[in-house]
Amino acid sequence: MNDISLLQHYWWFLVSLLGALLVFLMFVQGGQSLIWTLGRTEEQRRMLLLATGRKWELTFTTLVTFGGAFFASFPLFYSTSFGGAYWVWVLILLCFVVQAVSYEFQLKNGNVLGTTTYRVFLLLNGLLGPLLIGTAVGTFFTGAEFVVDKAAIAQPAMPVISSWVNPLHGLEAAMVPQNLMLGLSVLLLTRVLACLYFLNSIADEALRTNCRRRLRMESAFFLLFFLTWLLRWLCGYGYAWLPEDGYVYLEQYKYLHNLLAMPAVLGTLLIGVVLVLTGMITGLKGWHRAIWPAGAGSVLVVLALLLCAGWNNTAYYPSSVSLQSSLTIANSSSGLFTLRTMTYVSFIIPFVLAYIAWAWRALDRKPITPEEANEEH
Amino acid sequence: MEPIDTSLVDWSRAQFALTAMYHWLFVPLTLGLGIIMAIMETLYVRTGREFWKQTARFWMKLFGINFAMGVATGIILEFEFGTNWSNYSWFVGDIFGAPLAIEGILAFFMESTFIAVMYFGWNKVSKRAHLASTWLTIIGATLSAWWILVANAWMQHPVGMEFNPDTVRNEMVDFAAVAFSPVAVVKFCHTVSSSWVLGAVFAVGVSCWYLLRGKHREFALASIKVAAWLGLIAALITAHTGHQSGRDIAQYQPMKLAAAEGLYEGGNAQGLVLGGLLRPGADWTAPSDESKFLFHVEMPYALSLLATHEADGYVPGIRNLLEGGYTLPDGSTALPAEEKMARGRKAIAALADYRKAKDEATKSAALTTLRENFDYFGYGYLNSPTELVPSVPITFYSFRIMVVLGGYFIALFAGLLIACKWLPSWTRWKWALWIVVLTIPLAWLASQAGWVVAEVGRQPWAIQGLLPNVAAISRLEVGSVQTTFFIFLVLFTLLLVAELSIMGKAIATGPETDKPTA
């Protein structure tokens, strides 16, 4: 493992996989955004929150690990994006801060803010979390307004190497329709997945009927937004770079070219789309386990999109104001030694996935009943 | 080019300090209470007594309330390295990012997976699987502490890296040196054992409150015994590792030691200040005719012994560290701060030359100059030697608060164990019970004071000797950071109030150990 390029590709794969798993696990957020839509009675709302409450920490941890892995493998992204798109990331963090306490506090005695406040926090996290993350990820394809100048470190008066040009510090991303469309697609996908997850994990016929009804509408809107985004993504410009000297340039149909140049990624995308559609259709027909094809499909689709963002000589975090400042997996990664060390650590991931699977199965073997939802945890 | 606004540095520091201090209200209780509840559940599995199960469940309930707040504040802390310290994130991200990523993969997933089994799995997995989940939850939390403390220790004493002028950053060359640095090992043992002390103080405090109220007597006595043993052992470990930590500071961060001791003029055979009052308004960056203390009590030779293992060993004071000229342990002469700054500026200029150079000869010459002066690279960003002096009053008093309270906790736990064994009537001494109850906030005070010494004492450095705060920040408007500072302040305070209210109610309700089992 002495080839840094191989390790950069491997780590981009791992970061993409974490991102893809995060999108799947955000069914928790989707579920939170549907608390009052699906849960008509207090008992139903309790069942919904118990179902997502068993999983919220996994989603949260995946987000934190996604951040940590990005920091370790591509520190220039961490430095440029977090330090520049300040307000977007702060808003995302605030959404997750209020979520972290809400499950634990909402039904406890002495809860001074009241149950409804915490549920509103969960609703906000459910709506804004996926929307903002999706919009922020949209800039991977449309670009962001930053300049990187590594020589600045040798200027003691102003040694900061990354500067954000737009005073909105990231909020401007929400004004780009393509970004917003991706944000809405992610939000709607999480709501689709949430409906499917509830069908599988809650034994209450009235609630299941609500989920199926909701699934139809959410799926239709998701497909509308996502397919529109996908079409524009395939037909639009992308940011390519020359491996010889790292020169970045705009290329039309770049992402389409990427898919054609990487048949395995194209296959992953197509299989993912088929699985998501299968999950939606079978879920609508009443199959309780439809979350699994839809979930696996979501992971594959997001993985393929993120691989297209970084592989095949593509700038994964393009600068729309200074093309040559764009970040690629080659110019923003950690060094060979760190990537190699981290790669050895990554071999533990299958073991981590195995115990997560064990715990998931142990807790979800039997669907949640109204009686269980009324017990104190 | 517009220079850095120093108030941006101050507000960025304030925001990080705010987040870190709030985070540290919850983490030590998680680590300490986690061990106590796991011991209780182990006793349940070994004895089969329902009493232990209910005891464990009660502490678990408090653990869960607290854990949520630790998670909420922790996520902000991790991402603040990027949002507010973006230059830092690039300059040392190659080294610093790795422990954070490993923390996520190894520790966070373990914690978050098994905590769900711990809370929701009582009737879904076997007794032993549940016990394993409880232990794995706390092991995950402790592993998380390991990796974040490795990262912090590296900032206090950077090792295992080399500067790469092409990428303009430091790059890791020895993972073992970073992950198992002696400074990190000591820091981990000191921090985790002090967290166990805090958990134990909390548990004995709550239990004594029940004794005062005449409620849950069996539960209270059992909890006191378990917690006092844990607390005593942990407090002794904390004292021992604190001593080792002091030696590390003497070696790698002598300015921090000088500030913690209020030592302006160093020398041989230095005494340790046991207590005293600093003269208000004293200028610690310049000599003065009057003493910088109003009064103080010293233990002769003790500081030299602590720092050098020799009663007449030399310990530099603030003036010596600024002016240099004393002999270092390796026999060389310490440079004055002005000289270090000049060499730092030379290193920075050489880096600029290296990057601009068109031919190999110029590049090579610039690289040689850079390497010769790189040890002082961070000093090149400073404007005055006085910037090297941290706040002496904050460091001095925090250090004493920590040490005095540490000693008090040892006496408290020993006293409780003696009382439980030989003085059964102690539970009727209201004054004694009140002392234990009122000790609860002191555990937090000691814990926070420890971090204040560690972090305020190393100013102005983000990374000791390598990168000062002023060169580590993100380029943001001061107004943005001020706004988020107050958002976090209000939000964290609100959530803290909410937590305290829920915690208070849960404690008032008490364990279910007195209820007949079905």
Residues B134-164: pLDDT tens digits?
Answer: 999 999 999 999 999 999 999 999 999 999 9
A151/B506 Cβ within 8 A: no
Query: How far is B414 from B445, CA to CA, in rounded Å?
Result: 20
Residue with the bigger pLDDT between A7 and A377: it is A7
Mutation for testing the A interface, residue in B5, B91, B108 having most A CBs under 10 Å: B108
Q: Tell me: pLDDT of B175 over 70.
A: yes
- pLDDT at res. B337: 97
Give the span between the Cα atoms of A136 and A295, in whole angstroms: 22
> What is the chain B residue with the closest CA to A330?
B167
Paired strand residues for A6: none
Residue from the list B71, B83, B133 with its beta carbon closest to the beta carbon of A83: B83
Give the C-alpha separation, A78 to A72, whole Å. Answer: 9
- Whether the per-residue pLDDT at A376 is higher than 80: the answer is no
Confidence of residue B100 (pLDDT cuts 50, 70, 90): confident
Q: Do residues B240 and B197 make contact, with C-beta atoms less than 8 angstroms apart? A: no
Mean pLDDT to the nearest integer, A216-220: 96
Q: From CA A78, how far away is CA A51, in angstroms rounded?
A: 33
pLDDT at B518: 40
> Average of pLDDT values for A339-352?
93
Res A373: pLDDT: 79
Q: Do B71 and A57 touch (CB under 8 A)?
A: yes
| Contacts across the A-B interface (CB distance below 8 Å) | 293
A71 vs B3, B101, B114: nearest CB: B101
* Facing residue for B502 by CB, picked from A78, A93, A108: A108
β pairing state of B272-278 and B461-463: unpaired
- Average pLDDT of the segment spanning B58-85: 92
Peptide bond into B165 cis (omega under 30): no
Average pLDDT over residues A253-268: 97
**Helices (DSSP H) in chain A: which residue ranges?**
4-25, 27-32, 35-38, 42-53, 56-73, 75-77, 83-84, 86-105, 115-142, 177-201, 205-235, 254-261, 263-284, 291-310, 336-346, 349-364, 370-374
pLDDT for A76 beyond 90? yes
Give the nearest partner residue to B86 out of A63, A160, A338, using CB atoms: A160
pLDDT at residue A1 greater than cutoff 90: no
* pLDDT for the residue numbered B6: 80
Of all residues in chain A, the one with the smallest CA distance to B96 is A72
Task: Provide the pLDDT for residue A233.
Answer: 96
Q: Answer yes or no: do B75 and A60 touch at CB < 8 A.
A: yes
Best to test chain A binding among B90, B490, B509 (most A CBs inside 10 Å): B90
Q: Is the pLDDT of residue B513 over 80?
A: no
Count up the domains in chain A and report the number.
1
User: Is B357 within 8 Å of chain A by CB?
Assistant: no
Q: What percent of chain A has pLDDT over 90?
A: 90
Tell me which chain B residue has its CA closest to the CA of residue A341.
B175
Mean pLDDT of chain B: 94
d(CA B203, CA B501): 17
Of A72, A105, A349, which has the smallest distance from its Cβ to B97's Cβ?
Answer: A72
Q: Confidence band (pLDDT; 50, 70, 90) for B514?
A: low
Beta bridge partners of B296: B276
Q: Do B86 and A359 touch (CB under 8 A)?
A: no
Work out the minimum CA distance from B98 to partner chain A, whole angstroms.
5
- Say what the pLDDT of residue A275 is: 98
Residue A166 has pLDDT above 90, yes or no: yes
Most B CBs within 10 A among A87, A94, A108, A328, hence the mutation to make, goes to A108
Residue B493 near chain A (CB below 8 Å): no
pLDDT at B517 over 50: no
> Taking CB atoms and an 8 Å limit, are A54 and B116 in contact across chains?
yes
Contacting residues of A for B111, CB less than 8 Å apart: 57, 61
Mean confidence (pLDDT) of chain A: 94
In whole angstroms, what is the distance from residue B26 CA to residue B66 CA?
6
User: Is the CB of residue B95 less than 8 Å from the CB of residue A75?
Assistant: no
Note which residues in 74-133 of chain B have CB less than 8 A from chain A.
Answer: 74-76, 78-79, 81-87, 89-91, 93-98, 100-106, 108-117, 119-121, 124-125, 129, 133
pTM, full prediction: 0.93
Nearest-CA residue of chain A relative to B479?
A167
Spatial CA neighbour of A70 closest among A135, A167, A137, A2: A137
Amino acid A365: pLDDT: 86
pLDDT value of residue B290 = 87
B73–A contact, CB cutoff 8 A: yes
Residues of B in contact with A96 (CB under 8 A): 72, 75
Tens-digit pLDDT profile for residues B285-330: 999 888 999 999 999 999 999 999 999 999 999 999 999 999 998 8
Q: What is the CA radius of gyration of chain B?
A: 25
User: Is B168 within 8 Å of A100 when comparing Cβ atoms?
Assistant: no
Name the residue range of residue A287's domain. Answer: 4-374
B335: left (phi over 0), alpha (psi -120 to 50) or beta: beta
Q: Which residues pair with A238 in a beta bridge?
A: A251
B443 CB within 8 Å of a chain A CB: no
Question: For chain A, how far is it from start to end, CA to CA, in angstroms?
Answer: 48
Is it the case that residue B515 has pLDDT exceeding 70? no
Contact call for A356 and B104, based on CB within 8 A: no
Stretch A179-196: mean pLDDT:
98
Q: Pick the residue from chain B with its C-alpha nearest to A345.
A: B102
Tell me the mean pLDDT in the region A41-52. Answer: 94
